[in-house]
Amino acid sequence: MTELAAAGAALAGEAARYAGMGWMRGTSGNLSVVLGRDPLRLAVTASGLDKGELTAEDVVVVDGEGAAVSGGVPSAEAGLHARIAAVAGAGAVVHVHALAPVLAAQRWPDGVPLRDLEMLKGFGRAAHDDLVTVPVIPNGQDMRVLGDAFERGFRADTPALIVARHGIYVWGGDLRQARHRLECLEWLLRFVLETRIDGVGRDVR
């Protein structure tokens, strides 16, 4: 199996899992893995397909701008994947349209504060006395504008970005680490939404 086919198979497997969780409804969301860094090359899920039904062939190679190098049509969002991979040094970036991050961004448009929750360990942070603020940026269709907004708020210890009224990006060294971080973060966001008590102890009811 070629490196690209292996990446495609891994991306299809992850996408099916996220689709099963209701986080990739319709044809939404996209996942990527870095194939090479010099120059930057990513394998990204192809655009416009049901993410629960991808095969190892439904993958596109893009460059550092998110433009197709080979394969079919990449999602427009591939540009932000590439920017995140470059800036954060991530090996994999996952973007899903889960509801909890979008609801949380609506309530905390300047960033979602989280603290003193065991699941923060699964996000790579401490369970106690460690204020984590998940950045929120406005939605838009120009990936360079989104990329600039991401970079302004980037912190190496906070591997996630919520795009308001849209979805969330989470990254890690590989797809498995990104998935673990996303699963834990989605739980954390549901916690603050349902309790309506955020990480700075503010009761936002």
Task: Specify the residue, 12 or 161, whose C-beta has the smaller distance to Zn ion.
Answer: 161
Known binding positions for Zn(2+): 95, 97
- The residues pairing with 203 across neighbouring beta strands, listed in sequence order, are 197
Helix (H) or strand (E) holding 183: helix 175-195
Interface residues toward Zn ion, by CB under 5 A = 167
- As measured in angstroms, the least distance from the Cβ of 39 to Zn ion is 25
- As measured in angstroms, the least distance from the Cβ of 29 to Zn ion is 6
Q: Would you state the structure tokens that stand for residue 81, as one six-digit string?
A: 């994947």
Task: Specify the residue, 91 or 167, whose C-beta has the smaller distance to Zn ion.
Answer: 167
Task: Specify the residue, 45 or 158, whose C-beta has the smaller distance to Zn ion.
Answer: 45
Helix (H) or strand (E) holding 166: none
Task: Specify the residue, 28 or 177, whose C-beta has the smaller distance to Zn ion.
Answer: 28
The one-character DSSP state at 106 is: H
- As measured in angstroms, the least distance from the Cβ of 70 to Zn ion is 23
Which residue is at the shortest CB distance from Zn ion?
A: 167
- As measured in angstroms, the least distance from the Cβ of 99 to Zn ion is 13
**Between the CA of residue 2 and those of 5, 6, 198, what are the distances in Å?**
5, 6, 46
User: b or e along 76-108 (b: 16 or more beta carbons within 10 Å of the residue's beta carbon)?
Assistant: ebbbbbbbbbbebebbbbbbbbbbbbbebbeeb
CA distance 162 to 67: 23
